């Protein structure tokens, strides 16, 4: 379904993808789809900027630290959980984004490389991600940083995992507090088929077939809060920033999550990028207008990072 509201560069990007006539991820299987996503990073994401620290860490799962400073005293740290429908994506596919966030917010960023479905279905991704969060929060020597608190961030399926981890650590806290969460076009309420699903599930990058494939591969139980984090309730969650795309089939999941947080008295920011599609923050080379969207997101996040540094 097309939309008259679509941005010109988004329309050009979607037309280009269509012209390639390439197979879809759900048609070629998990391993080939993962290779396609890595290739897409180099085709459609900006090149990774130089940064002082890029270091792999052997934690409970593979982790990678990014930092614009060689050394730091105790302070806030951002844990990033990548998207890809719990099936594709890894540290490499989201590295340019993590580096840009680390530089822009002047925060150490630790990316999590959790196990992927269908080889490792639910709850493997959740278990790996929360183990990583607890381990990083404890400030282990291998990390080389002393967190005074954690921000959680993740896109799409990673946003789903962040929301579930926030709920878990609200009820059973980690060594340091969760300072806030940034959910980027999150699969925040996958139990419900909201109107945006039918409006944008064809012709806007993320399709009905791909979403069905992701959900079937991950096999998250519909009644389990680790898959549908809103089942755990929103009261008492950390400050929450939800970013969505107007032309995204899972847009309304993010809207619903942000509304539930606001109703529960959580400090909540909701921003919807107009005229664009799922994944726009990782497509800033293919969709140049995404650079302004990224800057807009940072304008909301920088005060949180500064506040956290002031309170340490």
CA distance 190 to 124: 17
The β-bridge partners of 54 are 66
Active site residue 156: yes
How many CA atoms, within 13 angstroms, populate the side-chain half-sphere of residue 257? 39
Reduce the DSSP state of residue 63 to 3 states and report it: strand
100, 113, 155, 248: the catalytic one is 248
Q: What does 209-229 look like in DSSP terms, one character per residue?
A: HHHHHHHHHHT--TT-TTTSG
Structure tokens at 81: 């959980």
Active site residue 70: no
Reduce the DSSP state of residue 14 to 3 states and report it: helix
156, 166, 210, 289: the catalytic one is 156
What's the length of the chain?
312
- Choose among 41, 100, 37, 82: nearest CA to 293: 100
Residue given tokens 């680790």 in the structure block: 226
CA distance 288 to 137: 35
Dihedral (CA of 243, 252, 116, 277) sign: negative
Structure tokens at 159: 């946003």
Cβ(25)–Cβ(89) below 8 Å: no
Structure tokens at 150: 């954690």
Cβ(244)–Cβ(273) below 8 Å: yes
Instruction: Give the torsion through C-alpha atoms of 126, 51, 55, 61, to 10 deg.
Output: 0
- Asked whether the bond before 299 is cis by omega within 30 degrees of 0, the reply is no
Residue given tokens 């999550």 in the structure block: 257
Active site residue 212: no
Question: Known catalytic residues?
Answer: 156, 248, 278
């Amino acid at each position: 379904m097309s939309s008259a509201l679509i941005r010109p560069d988004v329309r050009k990007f979607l037309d280009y993808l269509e012209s390639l006539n390439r197979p879809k991820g759900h048609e070629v299987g998990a391993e080939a789809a993962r290779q396609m996503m890595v290739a897409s990073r180099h085709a459609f994401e900006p090149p990774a900027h130089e940064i002082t620290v890029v270091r792999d860490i052997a934690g409970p799962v593979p982790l990678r630290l990014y930092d614009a400073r060689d050394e730091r005293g105790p302070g806030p740290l951002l844990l990033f959980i990548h998207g890809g429908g719990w099936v594709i994506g890894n540290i490499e596919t989201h590295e340019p984004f993590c580096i840009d966030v680390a530089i822009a917010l002047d925060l150490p960023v630790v990316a999590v490389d959790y196990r992927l479905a269908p080889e490792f279905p639910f709850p493997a991704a959740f278990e790996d991600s929360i183990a990583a969060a607890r381990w990083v929060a404890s400030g282990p020597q291998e990390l080389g940083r002393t967190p005074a608190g954690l921000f959680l961030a993740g896109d799409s399926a990673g946003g789903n995992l962040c929301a579930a981890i926030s709920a878990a650590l609200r009820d059973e806290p980690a060594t340091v507090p969760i300072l806030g969460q940034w959910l980027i076009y999150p699969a925040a309420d996958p139990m419900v088929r909201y109107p945006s699903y039918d409006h944008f599930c064809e012709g806007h990058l993320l399709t009905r077939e791909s979403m069905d494939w992701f959900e079937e591969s991950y096999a998250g139980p519909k009644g389990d809060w680790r898959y549908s984090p809103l089942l755990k309730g929103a009261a008492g969650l950390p400050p929450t920033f939800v970013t969505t795309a107007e032309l995204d089939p899972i847009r309304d999941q993010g809207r619903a999550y942000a509304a539930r947080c606001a109703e529960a008295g959580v400090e909540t920011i909701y921003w919807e990028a107009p005229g664009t599609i799922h994944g726009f923050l990782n497509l800033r080379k293919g969709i140049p207008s995404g650079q302004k969207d990224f800057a807009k997101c940072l304008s909301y996040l920088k005060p949180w990072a500064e506040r956290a540094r002031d309170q340490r």
